[in-house]
Structure 1
Amino acid sequence: MISRLRSAKLRLSIARIGVMQVLQVAEPEPLSAEDVYRRMSERGTRTSLGTVYRATKELEAHGLLLREWGRHRKAVYRIKPSGFDAHRLRLVCQDCGHSVAFSDGALLKALKRVAHAQGLALAGKAVAIPCECRGCDTEAPELRSCSLAKSRGQPAAANSG
């Protein structure tokens, strides 16, 4: 992680290292800046929420984090895997955070065509397609129990975004 910060030519700071550590431990669950701040505070790392916001935006701008949109149009972040293809498509469960990356040239081409027709561009970003796992119980969010998240050894998140 420190080598990734150095290769991105970023100065090592408590906030940047803390954000990367928290997101690394949370993998594969994406976290909002507020969640990162809360977990950093629980670990005893003293920083402000504003600093965490700046650090996540800077880490994303330098290609170390991926930003996705969770429920209620809230930005959530995850560590960008090394060798990540910017034109990947991802199916992301909005309840538990489970995601699957895949490539489909025809679908990506169609998305670019539709975006262009509407005056938009995908801008080389990964496309996250929100979905729901079969194992997530959307009727009772406080009782969610996703078998996909559990099978990966990850607890199902009660609210990932």
Structure 2
Amino acid sequence: MSGTHGAQVPASSGFSEQLRSLGIRPTVIRLCVLQTLAESDSQWLGGEEVFRRMLKRGTATGLASVYRVIKELEKARLVQREWERGLGGARAVHRLRRTQTPESTVRLRCGGCNASVEVVDEALHEGLLRAAQAHGMPAGGPFTVQLACARADCVR
């Protein structure tokens, strides 16, 4: 399907119907943001990266529009946001909201380069839950564990 901005959005994506069911008009920019996040699989992307990928695809838009749409899709619970710490401070990163994230998901993240991996490990999750509760922290759902990087080429 071709839109007013020259972008190519796959008609089979189902995003149009999803947006309509939420009472949101499926514009080319909204569809392209969703498609860009879908193509990144489970990789978290910053707004500028979404913008650059959309430009590569041929979607003529502004960075402010991309951020506005991401925020709107986050409010509609189609996109999830997380804060990623780096050398220049923290930045928001996004991905499509997963319909079913296992409760025993643990994200392991490097404290230096922010590389991360998600693992589903019930024993690890239960151990983290017990440790959090033992220290008076209400915890549940997925955990994020920040690790010290052992890689010599880490940018920390």
What TM-score does the superposition give when structure 2 sets the normalisation length? Answer: 0.65
Provide the C-alpha distance between the structure 2 equivalents of 1:128 and 1:51, rounded to a whole number of angstroms. 32
Task: Give the gaps of 5 or more residues in structure 2.
Answer: 1-13
What residue is the counterpart of 1:48 in the other structure?
62
- Greater per-residue strand proportion: 2
What residue is the counterpart of 1:91 in the other structure?
107
Task: Give the gaps of 5 or more residues in structure 1.
Answer: 116-121, 143-161
Which of 19, 34, 41 matches 1:20? 34
Structure with the bigger RCO (C-alpha within 8 Å, sep 6+) is 1
Range with greater deviation from structure 2 (28-37 or 6-15): 6-15
Which of 97, 104, 129 matches 1:107? 129
Contact kept in structure 1, 2:105 and 2:118, CA below 8 Å: no
1:9-158 superposed matches below 5 A: 9-72=23-86, 73-84=90-101, 90-94=106-110, 95-100=114-119, 104=125, 107=129, 110=133, 113-114=136-137, 129-131=144-146, 138-141=151-154
1:36 is displaced (CA, Å) by 0.2
The sequence identity of aligned pairs, in percent, is 29
Structure with max Cα Rg: 2
Q: CA RMSD in A?
A: 3.4
1:92 is displaced (CA, Å) by 4.5
What TM-score does the superposition give when structure 1 sets the normalisation length? Answer: 0.63
**What count of residue pairs does the alignment treat as equivalent?**
131
